[in-house]
Chains A and B, each alone.
Chain A
Amino acid sequence: MRKKIKIIGKHVLLAVLAFIWLVPIVWLLVTSFSAYKGINTLHFFPTEWSLDNYAQIFFRPDTVVNFPAWFRNSLVIGTFTCLISTFFVLMVAYAMSCMRFRGRKQLMSFSVILGMFPGVLSMIAIYFVMKLIGLTNSLVGLIVVYSAGSGLGFLICKGFFDTIPSSLRESAKLEGASQLKIFTRIVIPLSKPIIVYTVINSFLAPWMDFVMANLMIRSKNPEDWTVAMGLYKLVEKTLVGNYFSVFCAGGIIVAIPISVLFVIMQRFYVEGITGGAVKG
């Protein structure tokens, strides 16, 4: 009997916790179907339901909201960032893990030290550098900003490569394979989990970032914005009264591709991380 109470207690506790965690999500969902555009402060559920917010997002771009363009921009940036970053990370990780050359350890320490400078500090300087090259206000500039420094994030991937038995590489070398062949034919096919992890993470970064995007893209034309930037602008004080429920609808739509990626990643997530960190 006591055991039964304990079990029920655990389920009740879980239910309460789940309720707390889901309240904001549910509020996001129901507000996105609200006919009232501002923040509903009196009722949790909207008094009048409508699909208008979604219609506005997809079919009625105005001077503030242009979701299709935002989505397109973010998709372009995400795709290119993810391609470049993944290549960079894999390349650096292979060089650091599987090759031995002079200055390798110094380079690794140097990259760890570089990573400790707060990103917010260099932000404004990055803006100056990009302005110098003439890449502000453009998608190319944002892609460069998101992906150029990605080589620094090689540590997890290197940890994974370290667990690939070196005998595999040695025997390939004896058979006359070049390093390029070992990299592309042996190491990469064995690193699927870590590649998926890197791809998804680098693809998602531009969808979440509003600070750098706001700094780099000064255009007042919503067609040039990214999803994160655009949604962020919708809750500014002057706009939030008219666009809050549109913001919620946008949040729901952005969550869809991200959730799909997470479901794909979940299979690899634990495997990739723990495989890189511990195996023994």
Chain B
Amino acid sequence: MKKYLTEFGRAIKHGDIWTRLSLLVMGIGYVGHGQIIKGILITLIQVGFCFFTGRVSWQYICKLNTLGTVQREEKLDVLTLTKTVNDYDNSLQILLFGVIGILLIVAFILLYIGNLKAVFQIQQQKENGKHVNSFREDLNDLVNGKFHITLLTLPAIGVLLINVIPIIFMICVAFTNYDMQHQPPTYLFTWVGWENFVQLLTTDATTTFGFVFTRILIWTLFWSVIATFSTYFGGILLAKLINDKTVRWKKMWRTMFVITIAIPQFVTLLLIGKMFGDYGIVNSFCNKIGLVDLLQRVGMISDGIRYIPFLSKPGWAHVMIILINLWVGIPYQMLSATGILLNIPEDQLESARIDGASEAQIFWKITMPYMLFVTGPSLITALIANINNFNVIYLLTHDYVTPSMKYANSSAKEVDLLVTWLFTLTNEDSNYKMASVIGICVFIICAALTLFSFSRLLAGNREEEFQ
């Protein structure tokens, strides 16, 4: 960082007139040193930036501290019966344009400093009698030494647009009071500091977020661990069963399980949800064979109802979701486990057998350590994927109605994960502020998990091992 700035200072200090002039007009240094096209292009960028900031984003950036003060008012002119609207502030636009504007300014400052350094470098090259690149040579460099710039520009713009800007925007929203009562364009919202985070942890007469949040958090963590490990072991066991030497028609068995992947998840999950509905086909079957009566006598379902509440009562729904997730997840795990199981060195297994190890011993002492070694990192990925497992929960439980007032108050359900709760809050309640706070919590959980176990990947110290 320090080196970065001193280089910049040196360029100003030792630069000639062209270099210094490019502090003002960015392209002039290039033009002075004979790189005319490059100079024009850079100057065009500068003009474009100044135009956008001056005409569009600056007015929004100025209002960022309050997020707008003038509320929208409509006046009905009685004589002409036309409505006139005052020049109101739109908090949403201010925040969005403000974020984009600031990002642009940061990018421009980086470009500006880099530009000056580049000009200074050209000046030095010229002074030392070295060759200065022509425009064509610069272009050639873009597919060779600086190829990474060519490669990364478009994807980076895409990521900025779809990931970075929305994430920064939502993080900002977590510190505002943007909710149903403060919806632009009719109403304004403004900064409230850490208030929403406090609200997420409080439980009193009016808010139940604290109560609901801890319970949903526990269920989310519980679910992700159970879902990950149950499908993981299920997949390995199934793969082992199919790959067993004595089992015939291996391909047919495998295909039967893989077929379930071919149908999109939302179709199968909705279908299964309907099958296990209160008046669905499974329930009428259970009624027919007397299972409902039996369970009623045991006291597992309450007296008033004539069905098994597979997906409509807490407890039942939790268990069913985990079971149905087995149905969804095991074929995938089976596929990837098959490939890895086939890679286990056969001589190891053989020698273990000769030494008299039982099948169970071989499984726990050879197969599992090998599987864990190969798939360990992907287990963490799966864990994070399950924390964010929107489809299974949402599709199975979108008809679920919570019996608890406390949950209903925060528009949550007993079976919600943090992400599905977040989704309900934004989509049905327009409670963007709390949704953002929850989103940040999910991020913190995932980041902690990743840092905890993935630090090797972040450091990237293994990447040259195989090259």
Q: Do A and B come from one complex?
A: yes
Contact between chains at B264 and A207 (CB < 8 Å)? yes
Known contacts A14-B247, A125-B166; A273 and B158 CB within 8 A of each other: no
Distance between A201 CB and nearest chain B CB, rounded to angstroms: 13
Docked CA distance A117–B242 (Å): 38
Contact between chains at B331 and A41 (CB < 8 Å)? no
B436 at the interface (CB under 8 A from A): yes
Docked CA distance A124–B170 (Å): 9
B105 at the interface (CB under 8 A from A): no
Docked CA distance A41–B282 (Å): 8
Distance between B412 CB and nearest chain A CB, rounded to angstroms: 14
B378 at the interface (CB under 8 A from A): yes
Known contacts A18-B253, A163-B466, A180-B144; A232 and B271 CB within 8 A of each other: no
- Checking A91, A116, A152, A207 against B152 with a beta-carbon cut-off of 8 angstroms, the contacting residue is A91
B77 at the interface (CB under 8 A from A): no
B24 at the interface (CB under 8 A from A): no
Contact between chains at A125 and B167 (CB < 8 Å)? yes
Known contacts A121-B435, A244-B274; A95 and B170 CB within 8 A of each other: no
- Checking B145, B374, B458 against A112 with a beta-carbon cut-off of 8 angstroms, the contacting residue is B458
B279 at the interface (CB under 8 A from A): yes
Contact between chains at B422 and A28 (CB < 8 Å)? no
Contact between chains at A114 and B147 (CB < 8 Å)? no
Contact with B along A223-258 (1 / 0, CB 8 A): 000001001100101001000100110111011001
Docked CA distance A58–B97 (Å): 45
> CB-CB < 8 A to B319: which residues of A?
none
- Checking B259, B283, B423, B467 against A25 with a beta-carbon cut-off of 8 angstroms, the contacting residue is B259
B356 at the interface (CB under 8 A from A): no
Docked CA distance A162–B248 (Å): 39
Known contacts A21-B257, A121-B439, A151-B159; A28 and B331 CB within 8 A of each other: no
Contact between chains at A122 and B284 (CB < 8 Å)? no
Q: How many residues in B have their beta carbons less than 8 Å from beta carbons of A?
A: 99
Docked CA distance A161–B442 (Å): 32
A259 at the interface (CB under 8 A from B): yes
B132 at the interface (CB under 8 A from A): no
A132 at the interface (CB under 8 A from B): yes
**Known pairs A118-B388, A149-B159 / 7 extra A-B pairs, C-beta < 8 Å:** A7-B247, A14-B242, A24-B275, A39-B274, A88-B158, A117-B443, A125-B170
Measured CB to CB, the residues of A under 8 A from B are: 6-7, 10-11, 13-14, 17-18, 20-22, 24-25, 27-28, 39-44, 88, 91-92, 94-95, 97, 99, 101, 104-105, 107-109, 111-114, 116-126, 128-129, 132, 144-145, 147-152, 158, 162-166, 178-180, 183, 207-208, 210-211, 215, 228, 231-232, 235, 237, 240, 244, 247-248, 250-252, 254-255, 258-259, 262, 269-270, 273-274, 277-280
